[in-house]
Amino acid sequence: MRRTAAKLADGREIIYFDDTPDAPPRTAVDTRDLPESQPHSEVRRDPLTGEWVAMAAHRQTRTYKPPADLCPLCPTSPGKPTEIPESSYDVAVFENRFPSFAEDVPDVQSTVDGMSMVHRAAGRGRCEVVCFTSDHNTSFGELTPHRVRTVVDVWADRTEAFAEIPGVAQVFPFENRGEEIGVTLHHPHGQIYGYPFVTPKTERMLSVAGEYFAEHGTHVMGDVLAAERAAGTRIVAEGEHWTAFVPAAARWPVEVHVVPHRQVPDLPALTDAERDDFAHLYLRVLHLMDALYDRPLPYIAAWHQAPVRTGRDLSWLHLEVFSVLRTKDKLKYLAGSESGMGVWINDVTPEQIAERLRGSSA
């Protein structure tokens, strides 16, 4: 894989990752007249829950559902400059023009005016867009295993780079697919967030893992994986190094966890064999999900990695893929219990979800 870094017109970084042997050199120049990017992100700590909330008002003007011929993630064509100056690409990564977090945001006062208990800080971090292919009319599930392997290597590369940024506490690669999820750009792409704090979900998972280890002397994810593989009831697909299963306490109407058989903290720690096996298994999972309702399934794919500087011995890398679609044409809305109290109510059992997914390949 060839890696080429360059700059966009407003100074943001763009990196090309080419897996095609005869890919041309990446020398195109961004000719757009763009104002310098000036994000003003900040974070505030909720005094009632202890959780950090990001404020990024500059994102209100971000691109929203452009027509396909004006997609900013497609390659640049004559008269139609985009975020990617080249006329073609394999995988391209660039700094988000409307980031939730950024490295050069201005300082803010330490507390909110009149609220000394509400701590406040600059939203320092990094946000990048990962374009999986230059083909606008495809999806991650239609990529080749070779391209998926490239994307895994890109995720690992960027995870290592983000970890070197001062103040980044956690690196989160993810993909949103489908308007039902809230996607506003249909080109196949994902994002990577470098948070200036450890996220609430990760903090909770590390706490539970620590308590479990203190009591049992083993990792909770390792024991869950062993039990799921022994039972087989909720298994969706298996590979040499990974297993995909519906968790026994699934929250979403469609939910699959893709877990490596070996405890590793993050994507950079995966071996070549593990990365290859993931590429094949994950494509299998996505094909089953799309076949479930015989339509492209809207989903969120979220990587759970260890924080940069803490809890790495308690972390077990895994991918969580879930959908809000509970039938072919009905959405699972987060209503009073879920949104108000954080208590999930699922309309289908995990065993039923797994059986339907396995059967969708018929």
Tokens for 219? 């990792």
The one catalytic residue in 58, 189, 241, 318 is 189
**CA–CA separation, 50 vs 245, rounded Å?**
32
Backbone dihedral angles phi then psi of residue 285, each to the nearest 5 degrees: -65, -45
Backbone dihedral angles phi then psi of residue 269, each to the nearest 5 degrees: -80, -10
Helix, strand, coil shares, percent, the chain, to 5: 30, 25, 45
Residue 131 · residue 189 · CB < 8 Å: yes
- Please give the sequence-ordered ranges of beta strands (E in DSSP) within 196-234, or none if there are none: none
Residue 223: how many other CB atoms lie within 10 Å: 12
318: annotated active-site residue: no
**CA–CA separation, 101 vs 54, rounded Å?**
8
288 burial (CB, 10 Å; 0-12 / 13-18 / 19+) is buried
Residue 319 · residue 285 · CB < 8 Å: no
Contacts of 29 (CB under 8 A, 6+ apart): 85
Q: Tell me, what amino acid is at 310? A: T
**CA–CA separation, 302 vs 202, rounded Å?**
12
| Helix H or strand E segment including 158 | helix 145-163
Could you tell me which residues are annotated as the binding site for Zn(2+)? 71, 74, 136, 187
Kindly list the catalytic residues. 189
